[in-house]
Structure 1
Amino acid sequence: MTETLIVTTVVDVEPAAVFAVLADPANHAAIDGTGWVRESLDGEPLTAEGQIFRIAMYHDNHPDGRYEMANKVIAYEPDRTIAWEPGQEGEDGRLEFGGWTWRYDLDATGPGQTRVVLTYDWSGVPGELRQHIAFPPFPTSHLENSLANLAKLASGRQFAL
């Protein structure tokens, strides 16, 4: 049984334009293919591994509807790779991570073209959490929608760089 979903697309822009969109959490709601991501709560771009960025979320099946995710950047290589591990603050105020990750790998495939590989990996999710949340919690089509959204945003940014 696979514990990852991987989708790929080719975008007609340079890797720098794609990376710039991904590195700005203010864009994540527009990229999101699930409709769960709301707004960035920090308003800061991503700049390094270890950085924490917070995102407001909404899900009909969440006990409170609205909730917050605290994401830790786990890979950061400008114009090549960006990845994060979502988590939440525990009752003691410490961040607890659920064991799933989002990763985008960018590769120039020609002048003005970038292959984007989006990997959603839940192999690190502990058994007790899997009793409450089915993984993956959405179909692959949500990731395909996300890459289509990313392509549109990056195409608009290409000219602003």
Structure 2
Amino acid sequence: MAEENVSATLIVAEPAARVFAMLADPTIHSAIDGTGWVREAVDRAPLTEVGQFFRMDMYHANHPEGGYQVANKVAVLDPPCAIGWLTGQEKDDGHLEFGGWIWRYDLAPLGPSETEVTLTYDWSAVPQYIREYLQFPPFGPEHLVNSLHHLAGLVAPTSRARTPGG
């Protein structure tokens, strides 16, 4: 794959501030996740600043331990326009190591009650030694679409999400 990122976009029938608030709440991430890997927020405080850390319990059948924990570091926080985090894990010595991939949501208001939401997974900064044992992306692009539909259902359960131009 020549590109080192994948993204999906969906229009949600809610204001950007409301959508952003959902994304800034780690306790909701498992319900948004389109891969089915995110289980529960360990750190439950809302995301409020760049550099903030939050951990999530995860599960993946192909992971050596099955259940595991990731440490995320907020890398982008521009309410209500953008939020993103780097994902890594805590090493045996207690230090955090980030793999070079980032999850990012960009929100573009389309008037007072609609928001275009773009979710991007970018692995362009992943070092070669990680690429030797992990294939990128580790999931298909449909998982990003699933995540956006989950988000739309949570933020505006009675409205209908649509893809741009649709």
Q: TM-score, normalised by structure 1?
A: 0.95
1:36 maps to which residue? 37
- Which residue matches 1:91? 92
CA distance in 2, matches of 1:154, 1:107: 15
Give the deviation of 1:88 after TM superposition: 0.4
Rounded to whole Å, the distance in 1 between the matches of 2:33 and 2:139 is 12
Partner of 1:47: 48
Matches within 5 A, 1:3-152: 3-152=4-153
**2:164 match:** none
User: How far, CA to CA, are the matches of 1:116 and 1:145 in structure 2?
Assistant: 13
Mapped partners of 1:126, 1:111: distance in 2: 42
Q: Distance in 1 between matches of 2:139 and 2:43?
A: 26
Alpha-carbon distance between aligned partners in 1 of 2:5 and 2:155, rounded to the nearest angstrom? 25
RMSD of aligned alpha carbons:
1.3
Q: Which amino acid aligns with 1:130?
A: R
Shift of 1:128: 1.1
User: What SS class does the counterpart of residue 135 from structure 2 fall into?
Assistant: coil
Q: Distance in 1 between matches of 2:94 and 2:56?
A: 16
- Superposed CA deviations along residues 135-159 of structure 1, whole A, max 9, x for unmatched, are 0000000000000000111115x9x
Is the 1:74–1:84 Cα contact (8 Å) retained in structure 2? Answer: yes
Q: Residues of 1 paired with 2:72 and 2:36: CA distance?
A: 17
Unaligned runs of 5+ in 2: 160-166
SS in 2 for 1:30: helix
Please give the alpha-carbon distance, in whole angstroms, between the structure 2 residues aligned to 1:43 and 1:126: 30
> 4+ residue stretches of structure 1 with deviation over 3 A?
none
What's the offset of the Cα at 1:111? Answer: 2.7
1:17–1:155 CA contact under 8 A, matched in 2? no
2:121 and 2:4 map into 1 onto residues whose CA distance is: 8
Q: Given residue 76 of structure 2, which amino acid in structure 1 is its aligned partner? A: A
Structure 2 CA distance for aligned equivalents of residues 92 and 111 of structure 1: 48
Q: CA deviation at 1:98?
A: 0.3
Gaps of 5+ in 1: none
User: Does the residue aligned with 1:115 lie in a helix, a strand or coil?
Assistant: strand
* 1:129 partner SS: helix
Cα distance per residue 1:53-107 (max 9 Å; x no partner) = 0000000011110000000000101111100000101121100000000000101
- The alignment covers a number of residue pairs equal to 158
- What residue identity is the alignment partner of 2:43? D
User: 1:79 is paired with a residue of what secondary structure?
Assistant: coil
Classify the secondary structure of the residue corresponding to 1:99: strand
State the 1:42 CA deviation: 1.2
